[in-house]
């Protein structure tokens, strides 16, 4: 057995007593250590200390499905590898491959086998090949598994240990407070060998919730995590983690045991020889989301969920008022923690994070504008039986085709502005592949598959995509080229380190700006973005440029003189004004 330090043991036992007070913490600790560090693996004697060294300004993430690019001949993971190496080398250095396991529904999030790669994508060798060139992020779908997988079939047959793997509810329980992102019934009645049971389904009836009150479920998940680490995964995305622990009569979200389980995972990862980063996926309002940093003892990184609706609103309305107000109140990430910034993902633009930030009338105008652009709206059920918008389903490229005033000739510039804001902010920037490729709404997929989210999950035919990328006049070429140039430039700026100092600038509300300063204080960047379709002029003196430095906008090459003329921003123009060009 691996020798463990006194501090590690004490903390592990403390967490286990909090999560499983009725279990033998010593026996459970041994099972956890053996699961995470099986024979032949090594453990750090001391925990990896919190620091700013887990990431740098060179980090940028691509989010993609394993089969977003297909040609009907080659394995999709081989095509993804080709696209990454030949088109994104030096642009991104991390790739998040959305669930690449066998599944039954929800495009991979109803997993049937955590230990296998979906044969329609490739195999573990293909995953390891990508992990050898790029930091690899994978989904740890903790909350639920497929109703068609081996675990649930064994549960229905009453086979140990799976007969205790799933959370059972009682229709007589008070479930009125349960927070859910869906409108389908929470409990599903199913037949088992021992009689009828009602299983808990937070998301869909094909996604049955696991019972983490049974410690064997946690131990089994740790074995799976170890396998993924051994295959090259270095960032674990904890999918839907907020719903992990259930107690009828409560909201069943963000419960103390859920946070304690995340802390336990962090403890194990901080003692792993491999550098493993935990990222929590919690599409909830700001305070709830930030709680997953804990006291530097939970997630290393959290999704910055308010950004997508706020950036979309700013560019549709032509005003950064609400984006500025929100960003001004955002705390810097703690030491050893970082935000993951994004504008689009495989899901829609979540509206819950905009609660308390955007007024109802502004959200209504966003919804109307997205619908006018061909988008859809998905709803969630409220405890009182009513429904409200949960997310906007639309390809971001199409969502930004229009403003509140309608379509205009600034579409490409407006879209690039949205992506440049993400590049400029404190945190690690992440880009959905369909944003990089200027993908349009896929209405045919929505009709064929009967789900709103399919609108933003287009599958590209690789030869067609390559032809478009070679055509300098295509939207795909313009967006890919513009984003790639800015990301390569960004990677050379120390002031864009994910933890570099940030201050939100007070400017004309048509401008959104932040001041970034490198950790060594040698470089400053004033990143300013015109979110409107109007020219805006700014006096150099209003942004506090230091007189003795030479200032250059590294996006345009313009020299900025403190005593010079006003700095003019064309519609949707972005400037990175720095003293270290």
What are the residue ranges of helices labelled H in 318-425?
A: 321-328, 360-372, 396-399, 411-424
Q: Please provide the average confidence, as pLDDT, over all residues in the chain.
A: 95
74 is in an annotated binding site: no
Q: Which residues contact 205 (CB under 8 A, 6 or more apart)?
A: 147, 184, 185, 188
Q: Residue 311: its pLDDT value, please?
A: 98
Contact criterion met (CB below 8 Å) for 120 and 76: yes
pLDDT in tens, 287-307: 999 999 999 999 999 999 999
Q: Residue 544: its pLDDT value, please?
A: 81
510 is in an annotated binding site: no
Measured in degrees and rounded to the nearest 5, phi and psi for residue 175 equal -110, 15
Q: Residue 3: its pLDDT value, please?
A: 54
Q: Is the pLDDT confidence value at 383 over 80? A: no
Contact criterion met (CB below 8 Å) for 69 and 460: yes
Is 30 noted as a catalytic residue in this protein?
Answer: no
Where residue 545 falls among pLDDT bands split at 50, 70, 90?
A: confident
CB atoms under 10 Å from CB of 473, counted, come to: 7
Q: Which residues contact 526 (CB under 8 A, 6 or more apart)?
A: 505, 513, 514, 515, 543, 545, 575, 576, 577, 578
580 is in an annotated binding site: no
Q: Which fold has domain 61-139+304-496?
A: TIM Barrel (3.20.20)
Where residue 137 falls among pLDDT bands split at 50, 70, 90?
A: very high
pTM of the entire structure?
A: 0.96
Q: Is the pLDDT confidence value at 209 over 90? A: yes
Only one residue has tokens 């590294």, namely 554
Q: Residue 326: its pLDDT value, please?
A: 96
Q: Residue 1: its pLDDT value, please?
A: 42
Contact criterion met (CB below 8 Å) for 418 and 312: yes
List every span in the chain annotated with CATH 3.20.20.80. 61-139+304-496
Strands (E), 342-494: 349-350, 376-381, 387-393, 402-403, 406-407, 428-432, 460-461
CB atoms under 10 Å from CB of 87, counted, come to: 16
The CATH number that domain 144-209 falls under is: 3.90.400.10
pLDDT in tens, 52-83: 999 999 999 999 999 999 999 999 999 999 99
Which of 59, 67, 239, 398 is an active site residue? 239
| DSSP, residue by residue, 19-86 | H-TTS-HHHHHHHHHHHHS-TT--B-SSPPPP-STT--TT--EEEE-TTSEE-SSS-HHHHHHHHHHH
Q: Find residue 139's DSSP bridge partners.
A: 237
pLDDT in tens, 354-363: 989 999 999 9
Where residue 4 falls among pLDDT bands split at 50, 70, 90?
A: low
CB atoms under 10 Å from CB of 436, counted, come to: 24
CB atoms under 10 Å from CB of 352, counted, come to: 21
List every span in the chain annotated with CATH 3.90.400.10. 144-209
Work out the average pLDDT over 272-301.
94
pLDDT in tens, 409-453: 999 999 999 999 999 999 999 999 999 999 999 999 999 999 999
Question: What 3-state DSSP class applies to 200?
Answer: strand
Candidates 266, 268, 246; CA nearest to 257 is 246
238 is in an annotated binding site: yes
Q: Is the pLDDT confidence value at 284 over 90? A: no
CA distance 237 to 436: 21
* Angle separating helix axes 411-424 and 307-317, nearest 10 degrees: 140
Q: Is the pLDDT confidence value at 111 over 60? A: yes
Token digits of residue 263: 């802390």
pLDDT in tens, 487-522: 999 999 999 999 999 999 999 999 999 999 999 999
Q: Residue 560: its pLDDT value, please?
A: 92
Q: Is the pLDDT confidence value at 2 over 60? A: no
Work out the average pLDDT over 314-321.
98
Q: Which residues contact 435 (CB under 8 A, 6 or more apart)?
A: 343, 344, 396, 397, 415, 419, 479, 483
Q: Residue 263: its pLDDT value, please?
A: 98
558 is in an annotated binding site: no
How many helical (H) and strand (E) elements, i.e. helices and strands, does the chain have? Answer: 17, 27
Percentage of the chain exceeding pLDDT 90:
91
CA distance 9 to 258: 20
164 is in an annotated binding site: no
Work out the average pLDDT over 185-213.
96
Percentage of the chain exceeding pLDDT 70:
99
Q: Which fold has domain 501-578?
A: Immunoglobulin-like (2.60.40)
């Amino acid at each position: 057995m691996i020798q463990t330090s006194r501090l590690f043991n004490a903390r592990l036992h403390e967490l286990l007593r909090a999560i499983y007070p009725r279990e033998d913490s010593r026996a459970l600790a041994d099972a956890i250590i053996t699961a995470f560090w099986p024979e032949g693996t090594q453990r750090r004697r001391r925990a990896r200390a919190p620091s700013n060294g887990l990431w740098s300004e060179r980090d940028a993430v691509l989010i993609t499905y394993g089969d977003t690019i297909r040609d009907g001949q080659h394995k999709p993971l081989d095509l993804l590898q080709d696209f990454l190496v030949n088109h994104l080398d030096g642009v991104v250095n991390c790739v998040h491959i959305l669930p690449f396991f066998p599944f039954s529904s929800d495009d991979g999030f109803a997993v049937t086998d955590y230990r296998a790669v979906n044969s329609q994508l490739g195999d573990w060798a293909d995953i390891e090949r990508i992990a050898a060139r790029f930091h690899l992020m994978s989904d740890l779908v903790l909350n639920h598994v497929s109703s068609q997988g081996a675990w649930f079939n064994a549960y229905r047959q009453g086979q140990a240990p799976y007969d205790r793997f799933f959370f059972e509810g009682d229709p007589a329980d008070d479930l009125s407070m349960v927070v859910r992102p869906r409108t389908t019934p929470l409990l599903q009645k199913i037949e088992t060998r021992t009689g009828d049971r009602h299983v808990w389904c937070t998301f869909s009836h094909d996604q049955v919730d696991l019972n983490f009150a049974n410690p064997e479920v946690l131990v089994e998940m740790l074995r799976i995590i170890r396998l993924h680490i051994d295959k090259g995964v270095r960032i674990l995305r904890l999918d839907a983690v907020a719903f992990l622990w259930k107690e009828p009569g409560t909201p069943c979200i963000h419960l103390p045991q859920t946070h304690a389980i995340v802390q336990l995972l962090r403890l194990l990862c901080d003692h792993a020889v491999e550098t493993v980063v935990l990222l929590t996926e919690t599409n909830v309002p700001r305070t709830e989301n930030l709680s997953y940093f804990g006291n530097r003892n939970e997630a290393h990184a959290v999704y910055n969920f308010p950004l997508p609706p706020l950036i979309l609103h700013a560019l549709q309305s032509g005003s950064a008022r609400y984006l500025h107000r929100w960003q001004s109140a955002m705390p810097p990430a703690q030491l050893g923690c970082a935000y993951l910034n994004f504008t689009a993902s495989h899901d829609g633009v979540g509206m819950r994070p905009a609660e308390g930030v955007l007024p109802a009338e502004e959200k209504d105008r966003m919804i109307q504008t997205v619908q006018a652009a061909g988008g859809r709206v998905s709803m969630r059920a409220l405890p009182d039986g009513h429904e409200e918008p949960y997310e906007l389903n639309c390809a971001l490229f199409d969502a930004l085709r229009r403003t509140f005033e309608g379509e205009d000739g600034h579409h490409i510039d407006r879209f690039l502005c949205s992506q440049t804001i993400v590049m400029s902010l404190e945190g690690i920037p992440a880009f959905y592949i369909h944003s990089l490729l200027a993908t349009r709404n896929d209405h045919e997929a929505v009709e064929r598959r009967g789900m709103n989210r399919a609108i933003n999950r287009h599958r590209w035919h690789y030869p067609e995509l390559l032809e478009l990328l070679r055509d300098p006049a295509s939207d795909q070429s313009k967006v890919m080229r513009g984003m790639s140039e800015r990301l390569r430039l960004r990677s050379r700026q120390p002031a864009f380190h994910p933890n570099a100092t940030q201050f939100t600038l007070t400017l004309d509300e048509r401008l959104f700006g932040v001041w970034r300063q490198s950790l060594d204080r040698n470089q400053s960047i004033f990143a300013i973005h015109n979110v409107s379709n109007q020219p805006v002029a700014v006096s150099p003196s209003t942004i506090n440029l230091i007189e003795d430095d030479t200032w250059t906008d590294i996006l345009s090459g313009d020299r900025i003189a403190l005593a010079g003329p006003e700095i003019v921003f064309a519609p949707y123009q972005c400037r990175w004004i720095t003293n270290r060009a």
